[in-house]
């Protein structure tokens, strides 16, 4: 397919559990889990989208450049834009499509590679949900980041042993999955992690550790103490706790406290290059996008993901140009205004 509109039409025809809304904001799918929605009332997913609208960008048009550069690095790996595919697992159960997680991750990682950026893979109750995506990353010369759930040792050890023999850019752990009911009640369970447990995880790997699911300054400082290389400011797309704050509204305080000592990524409701710009201005180094990238892959595989990421890159470049930012490092707090 040549344009994103056709990709989304194709996805809408295939998905039986996701409505593929024009605006992916958690309203139509509220409470739909299994499904793509937010937990309970759905308010945490909805708030992620709403609060982004309270951040406005500041135009700044007298400058001496005409081209902008959206490229940056993640753990010394060059990328064309500071935007990454978020880990999404359980494609069949959550979107109602006949696509295995293995095939989804293969398409998603390839689409990210075509856009010269990086995708994160997910995890689930069956160990295959971790290892098969790790194989896909390994096949792609390590151009991907795998994510492990906060399992008890019985679940963590075999996954880490497997990953340590493969080529991956980094390991993430979504500590907020301790709030997912089906994983709390599974045979091998998830648990709340201590600083010591995260330190042990960090010591057991040779690649950077990213702690995903940080929503307070206190938690960010604990991740730092544990030796994390990066955090993802995230409420898991509103799926692990109802009535949570949104990621965008806690980002700036966390960025000030971290003060450059870890890489800061953020996710939850980001849908345009303008949204990405807002996150960078509030102190993030990069943004993860979840559901729309999955929908793009369902619609047209790796090509759909590539088209979607190109849309985000073009919008980011346009916003940078209009706000007087020549490169990613030029984007700062003066480029936005929080109105509420
Ligand atoms: C169906 C579904 C499955 C997900 N699976 C995972 C997962 O396995 N690991 C993880 O860290 N996050 C997972 N997430 C959370 C996403 O990585 C991400 O934090 C969130 O979707 C970002 O918000 P967005 O979709 O609004 O962009 C999942 C989210 C959804 C909707």
Ligand 1 atom nearest to CA at 122: 8
- CA 225 – CA 295 distance, rounded (Å): 37
119 lines ligand 1 (CB under 6 A): no
Going by C-alpha positions, the residue among 293, 193, 247, 312 that lies closest to residue 38 is 247
How far is the centre of ligand 1, averaged over its atoms, from the C-alpha of 334 (Å)? 30
How far is the centre of ligand 1, averaged over its atoms, from the C-alpha of 177 (Å)? 10
Percent of the chain with pLDDT over 70: 100
Alpha helices in 27-163, H assignment, sequence order: 43-52, 91-95, 101-114, 128-139, 153-163
- Least reliable range by pLDDT among 63-67, 77-81, 214-218, 311-315: 63-67
32 lines ligand 1 (CB under 6 A): no
The arithmetic mean of pLDDT across residues 252-269, rounded, is: 98
User: How do residues 23-60 score in pLDDT, each as one tens digit?
Assistant: 999 999 999 999 999 999 999 999 999 999 999 999 99
pTM of the model: 0.97
Whether the per-residue pLDDT at 340 is higher than 90: the answer is no
CB 95 within 8 A of CB 17: yes
* Partners of 289 in beta bridges: 85
290 lines ligand 1 (CB under 6 A): yes
The arithmetic mean of pLDDT across residues 224-229, rounded, is: 98
CB 79 within 8 A of CB 72: yes
The arithmetic mean of pLDDT across residues 94-118, rounded, is: 97
Going by C-alpha positions, the residue among 285, 283, 302 that lies closest to residue 294 is 302
Per-residue pLDDT, 170: 98
Pairing of strands 263-267, 120-121: unpaired
Pocket test for ligand 1, best of 89, 131, 231 (most atoms within 8 A of CB): 89
289 lines ligand 1 (CB under 6 A): yes
The protein residue whose alpha carbon is closest to atom 31 in ligand 1 is 36
88 lines ligand 1 (CB under 6 A): yes
Per-residue pLDDT, 179: 86
Ligand 1 atom nearest to CA at 268: 23
Residues 6+ apart with CB under 8 A from 29: 18, 19, 21, 35, 36, 37, 38, 42, 45
Per-residue pLDDT, 122: 97
The protein residue whose alpha carbon is closest to atom 14 in ligand 1 is 88
CB 117 within 8 A of CB 84: yes
Mean pLDDT of all residues belonging to the chain: 97
User: How do residues 166-216 score in pLDDT, each as one tens digit?
Assistant: 999 999 999 999 988 889 889 899 999 999 999 999 999 999 999 999 999
Q: What Å distances lie between residue 243 and 178, 236, 267, CA to CA?
A: 16, 13, 17
Per-residue pLDDT, 307: 98
- Least reliable range by pLDDT among 71-75, 98-102, 184-188, 265-269: 184-188
The arithmetic mean of pLDDT across residues 151-161, rounded, is: 97
Going by C-alpha positions, the residue among 327, 292, 248, 323 that lies closest to residue 15 is 292
- CA 232 – CA 87 distance, rounded (Å): 12
96 lines ligand 1 (CB under 6 A): no
The protein residue whose alpha carbon is closest to atom 9 in ligand 1 is 122
Domain ranges within the chain, ordered by starting residue:
4-57+72-318
Burial class (CB in 10 A: 0-12, 13-18, 19+), 268: buried
Per-residue pLDDT, 281: 98
Per-residue pLDDT, 163: 98
Burial class (CB in 10 A: 0-12, 13-18, 19+), 117: buried
CATH H-level, domain 4-57+72-318: superfamily? Aldolase class I (3.20.20.70)
183 lines ligand 1 (CB under 6 A): no
Whether the per-residue pLDDT at 293 is higher than 90: the answer is yes
147 lines ligand 1 (CB under 6 A): yes
How far is the centre of ligand 1, averaged over its atoms, from the C-alpha of 162 (Å)? 23
110 lines ligand 1 (CB under 6 A): no
Q: Grade residue 64 by pLDDT with cuts at 50, 70 and 90.
A: confident
Whether the per-residue pLDDT at 221 is higher than 90: the answer is yes
Per-residue pLDDT, 5: 97
Counts of helices then strands in the chain (DSSP H, E): 12, 12
- CA 40 – CA 249 distance, rounded (Å): 21
Whether the per-residue pLDDT at 330 is higher than 90: the answer is yes
Burial class (CB in 10 A: 0-12, 13-18, 19+), 71: middle
Cis peptide before 121 (omega within 30 of 0): no
Backbone angles phi, psi at 65, to 5 degrees: -130, 160
């Amino acid at each position: 397919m040549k344009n994103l509109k056709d990709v989304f039409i194709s996805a809408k025809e295939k998905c039986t559990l996701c409505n593929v809304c024009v605006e992916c904001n958690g309203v139509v799918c509220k409470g739909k889990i299994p499904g793509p929605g937010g937990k309970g009332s759905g308010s945490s997913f909805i708030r992620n989208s709403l609060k982004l609208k309270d951040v406005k960008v500041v135009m700044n048009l007298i400058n001496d450049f005409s081209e902008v550069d959206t490229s940056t690095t993640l753990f010394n790996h060059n990328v064309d834009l500071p935007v990454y595919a978020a880990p999404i697992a359980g494609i069949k159960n959550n979107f109602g499509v006949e696509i295995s997680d293995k095939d989804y991750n293969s398409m998603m990682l390839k689409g990210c590679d075509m856009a010269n950026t990086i995708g994160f893979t997910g995890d689930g109750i069956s160990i295959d949900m971790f290892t098969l995506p790790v194989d896909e990353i390994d096949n792609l010369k390590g151009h991907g980041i795998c994510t492990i759930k906060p399992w008890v040792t019985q679940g963590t050890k075999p996954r880490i042993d497997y990953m340590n023999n493969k080529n991956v850019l980094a390991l993430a752990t979504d500590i907020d999955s301790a709030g997912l009911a089906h994983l709390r009640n599974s045979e091998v369970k998830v648990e709340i992690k201590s600083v010591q447990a995260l330190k042990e995880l960090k010591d057991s790997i040779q690649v950077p550790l990213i702690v995903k699911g940080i929503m307070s300054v206190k938690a960010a400082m604990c991740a730092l103490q544990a030796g994390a290389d990066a955090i993802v400011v995230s409420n898991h797309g509103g799926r692990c706790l109802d009535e949570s704050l949104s990621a965008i509204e806690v980002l700036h305080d966390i960025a000030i406290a971290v003060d450059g000592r870890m890489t800061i990524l953020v996710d939850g409701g980001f849908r345009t290059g303008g949204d990405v710009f807002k996150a960078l201005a509030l102190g993030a180094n990069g943004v993860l996008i979840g559901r729309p990238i999955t929908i793009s892959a369902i619609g047209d595989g790796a090509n759909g993901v590539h088209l979607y990421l190109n849309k985000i890159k073009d919008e980011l470049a346009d916003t940078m140009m209009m706000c007087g930012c020549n490169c990613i490092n030029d984007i700062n707090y003066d480029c936005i205004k929080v109105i509420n």
